[in-house]
Chain A
Amino acid sequence: AQRVTQPEKLLSVFKGAPVELKCNYSYSGSPELFWYVQYSRQRLQLLLRHISRESIKGFTADLNKGETSFHLKKPFAQEEDSAMYYCGASGSRLTFGEGTQLTVNP
């Protein structure tokens, strides 16, 4: 069965500290990986996708096929990064993890 796991429901860091949001997936074949973000009082939106190899708002995500992980990283967290982050994997459908609430404290 297709499954995406985000082991941390809550993550709290201080401004300027590095942050890593963990994501592991269990999928048959080679799924495409995404990170979606939901800021307070806003709708869910795409942050980045593996296929684009891009860095958005200072965030990057590396696909590790051996560990089936797609962790999201940022070297210096900002207060405006506080949001709910969802990892997603797609094959025939986009499956989301349960999300990690990131809080960046001043």
Chain B
Amino acid sequence: ETGVTQSPTHLIKTRGQQVTLRCSSQSGHNTVSWYQQALGQGPQFIFQYYREEENGRGNFPPRFSGLQFPNYSSELNVNALELDDSALYLCASSLVSTFTDGELFFGEGSRLTVL
């Protein structure tokens, strides 16, 4: 059973650029969540996808968007990058679409630096 993998592990972008981060969920998990973790902060919920549809979103602007594919992989896209977007982006997969009982399995994250 493979775990959650994310790519790239590190990347540097400049303000105004666009970035795509990728995640491969744990096998059999049909739900993926994305979190932003700024330095010294806890993970902040961005959005969740269940069976390729967004079914929950945190307080993030529309320039944060995502996709989930039938093969359990997913993407987080951020347009018009701002300096404050610099953070660790975590992908987490789970077997159920609700959080009341589901355990989240996290990847190691993609660290984005915006200059």
Contact = CB atoms under 8 A, between A and B. Distances in A.
Interface of A: 4, 6, 9, 32, 36, 43-46, 49, 51, 86, 90-99
Contacts of B84: none
Interface of B: 4, 33, 35, 40-45, 48, 56, 58, 90, 92, 99-101, 103-109
Main secondary structure of the interface of B (DSSP, over half): loop
B103 A49 contact: yes
Of residues B41, B42, B43, B107, which shows the largest number of chain A Cβ atoms within 10 Å of its Cβ? B42
Contacts of B44: 96
Contacts of A46: 103-104
B33 A94 contact: yes
Given A43-B106, A44-B90, A91 B99 contact: yes
B101 A86 contact: no
Contact of B106 (A45, A91, A93, A99): A45
Contact of B48 (A32, A93, A97): A93
B43 A93 contact: no
14 contacts: A4-B42, A9-B40, A32-B99, A36-B104, A46-B104, A90-B99, A90-B100, A91-B99, A92-B56, A94-B104, A95-B45, A96-B35, A98-B40, A98-B42
